[in-house]
Amino acid sequence: QHRSLSGDEDSDSSTLNEDEDLERRATAGNFRRRGAICVPRSSGGISARFDYTDDPALSMEQHRDEERRTNELESQRASRRDLKREAERLRSQVQDLRRELRLAREKTQNLELEMETKLESAASATAQSSQQSDAHAQTAETLRNEVSSLEVEISDLRSALRKGVIAARGDVSQMTGDELREEIRRLRFEREAQRIREAIVARDHFHSHLRKLNAQSEREIGWTQQRVCRVASQQLQQCLRKAQPSHSHHHHHHHHQR
């Protein structure tokens, strides 16, 4: 399109040549009209000078011809100037449109980038908050609650992200990258939730085990105390028996002392 527009130069030169041609013809006419006309000798061999202006009717006709030719020439030039101007206007219009299109493209790209950074920062903020809450969580119950609320939050975030991406791109085919990133984030969250659940189960298991051990050790302490008491009372009784004097059992007593 541009090439055809800039092709004016060629057509210009050709039209200029036409102009000169027309002018040359017109001036030649003037010379013919005002100059001497040589009648060929074959027509009687007389060489005579005529002036067309002697005949008023003829000169008027020629004058009108000349005027008509001049007017035609002028109108041709004018129309060519108009065409040139129109072409120039169209060319500048095309340039303006191109510029507008480029600006629109840039604006769209900027919006897309802005949207992506917003989505990413939102996701990282969610991840951070979940990590902090994990770190600060102290009881199994609060951990459980947080896990369930996180799961809800993740699903909300995913749907919001999907909507946001569709709105920003206006095209589902370009979502694959974002969806992939989102899927990875979701899996990470799920793994974290699973880890928390396992930790809770392990802790509960450990506590119950500890309780069993405590009960067992208490029972064992009880038994030990009972045994100690029994042994102590037996020894005491033996001591008491030894302390009693027995005359009838001299031999036995002797044996004991030995």
What would the pLDDT profile of 16-64 be if each residue is shown by its tens digit? 666 677 666 665 554 444 445 544 445 554 444 444 455 677 788 889 9
Examine the domain organization and report whether 145 and 208 are in the same domain. yes
Examine the domain organization and report whether 25 and 74 are in the same domain. yes
Examine the domain organization and report whether 80 and 193 are in the same domain. no
- What is the structure's pLDDT at 34? 47
Structural domain harbouring 217 = 138-226
Examine the domain organization and report whether 14 and 130 are in the same domain. yes
Examine the domain organization and report whether 107 and 147 are in the same domain. no
Q: Give domain status of residue 42, yes or no.
A: no
Examine the domain organization and report whether 142 and 181 are in the same domain. yes
Number of domains composing the chain: 2
Q: What is the DSSP letter of 172?
A: G
Residue 171 phi, psi dihedral angles, 5° rounding: -155, 120
Measured at the CA of 240, the angle between CA 237 and CA 242, to 5 degrees, comes to 110
Query: Which of 108, 136, 164 lies at the terminal end of a domain, its last residue?
Result: 136
Examine the domain organization and report whether 11 and 128 are in the same domain. yes
- What is the structure's pLDDT at 165? 59
At 84, the amino acid letter reads: K
Examine the domain organization and report whether 117 and 180 are in the same domain. no
Is residue 8 a contact partner of residue 83, using CB atoms and an 8 Å limit?
A: no
Mean pLDDT (whole number) for 129-145: 71
Is residue 150 a contact partner of residue 134, using CB atoms and an 8 Å limit?
A: no
Q: Give domain status of residue 237, yes or no.
A: no
Q: Give domain status of residue 17, yes or no.
A: yes
Single pTM value for the model: 0.24
Query: Which of 93, 109, 136 lies at the terminal end of a domain, its last residue?
Result: 136
Examine the domain organization and report whether 116 and 178 are in the same domain. no
Q: Give domain status of residue 233, yes or no.
A: no
pLDDT digits (tens, 9 = 90+) for 183-240: 678 778 888 889 999 999 999 998 999 899 889 989 988 899 899 999 999 999 999 9
Query: Which of 84, 102, 136 lies at the terminal end of a domain, its last residue?
Result: 136
